[in-house]
Amino acid sequence: MSERGRVVVVVLAGALALLIAVGLTLSVQRFLTTKLDTGGAVVTLPTVADHYPEQAAKPFAKPEQCGLDDATIRRLAPDAMEDDTELGCSFEIGIRSGSGLQGGLRVTFTTGAVVEVMRSYDLKTGQFMANQPDSFWQTVTGLGDEAVVGYSTLGHTGRAELHFRSGAVAVNVKYNIARSEGYDEAPLGKGPTVDGALQAAAEVAAAIGAKVDNPAIGVPENQAEPGLPAPDPCKVLDEANLRAAGVDPALVGPAAGVTLPGVPIKGCSWASTQGERSLRLYVTSFSAGRHRGGSAEAEREFARVYQSARKSSSTFYALRGPGEKAMAGYALEAGGSERGTAGRGEVVFTMRNLVVQVSYEGMADGGPLAEALALQPAYAVAKSVAARLPK
């Protein structure tokens, strides 16, 4: 190749590298911030990757032997017959096993959208059963996002049942064992039975990429964490905040929100002078549950609202802030205004045990409020509320 040819190649290569670098930079900028420019208004949202990716985007692949090591299977269920199914694995000790043990070990997976998996986990662990003895399920630390284990006896069998959840995957481990000597049978004691379930669960968790950090029965640190007091939504904003949002501070009243059993929610609403726009602010406070702290309960409610808004909103954004986790959505509300269809922007965020929801809706020039005009005040109000909460 001639000298001139080499120069041309070098120049073209440099230009291509520059274009790639510029493209990557712009791509990163679009990921970090989303600018909405509609109706003459611009609002910059600090967008991030989806807080709760849909399960369909990342199909669950059951690990071989459900993630259990051969040595673990031999120890917990010696001479077992394996039954591998789509939903899990079963290791049943044969009748003629010379180990002196009878029973087996079973692992079952539940997958799907995060909210559905959370609900399934709660139902299986009796989170909603007020009459269930507190002593049955014990909280397990260092395993997945949340975990509990219980021990009981049925006839001659000791039964340990462990549930843990990691994101959109819930796992149930059952270890049912009896000791036999001749014609005599007796349940395996609580200690070795529960330890066996813990060891099996830890290996399964590691195989699916869940958190594993010396699983043990105990109380998570955040379960004892004191909750934040819920502020009065009618008093947390000052006059400047409200006027900047285009509503009249004097046109204030209570707002009814969707309440959850036993969960206090406070709401307040403001309207513009002409009544074409409205602002609503809700603050929900969560206390510690049976096996979760208030922050974890708030996180679950945020996940529920998040999934619902992702499906119902015209546009939806996962946000970096305010608060610990946040989201924003825009939708058209038929009948949202007495004058016709309104445009509604909503921002929701969590701060420890609190879930804060800000909704702003209205009309402009005879039509629904544009996306930026609805989200800009909602986002500004959410930031103001977060700034006034204790850290």
Of the pLDDT bands very low, low, confident and very high (cuts 50, 70, 90), residue 129 is very low
Domain-ending residue, one of 218, 236, 258? 218
Residue that has been written with the tokens 């799907």 in this structure: 112
Distance CA 54, CA 153 (A): 39
Nearest to 90, CA basis, from 70, 104, 76: 104
Range of the domain at 44: 30-53+225-388
Q: Are residues 175 and 267 in the same domain?
A: no
Residues 271 and 359 in one domain: yes
Range with the poorest average pLDDT among 73-77, 214-218, 338-342:
338-342
Assess contact for 42 and 53: CB atoms under 8 A.
Answer: no
Is residue 266 a part of any domain in this protein?
Answer: yes
Answer whether residue 172 shows pLDDT above 80. yes
Question: Is the confidence at residue 1, as pLDDT, over 70?
Answer: no
| Residue that finishes a domain, picked among 218, 247, 262 | 218
Q: Are residues 244 and 293 in the same domain?
A: yes
Of residues 92, 109, 141, 170, the one with CA closest to residue 292? 141
110 and 37 together in one domain: no
134 neighbors 126 (Cβ within 8 angstroms): no
Asked if the model's pLDDT at residue 69 lies above 70, the reply is yes
The answer to whether 168 and 155 are in contact (CB under 8 A) is no
Q: What domain count does the chain have?
A: 2
Using the Cα atoms of residue 304, residue 309, residue 312 and residue 318 in order, give the sign of their dihedral: negative
Q: What is the pLDDT of residues 184-219, one digit of tens each?
A: 667 788 899 999 999 999 999 999 999 999 999 887
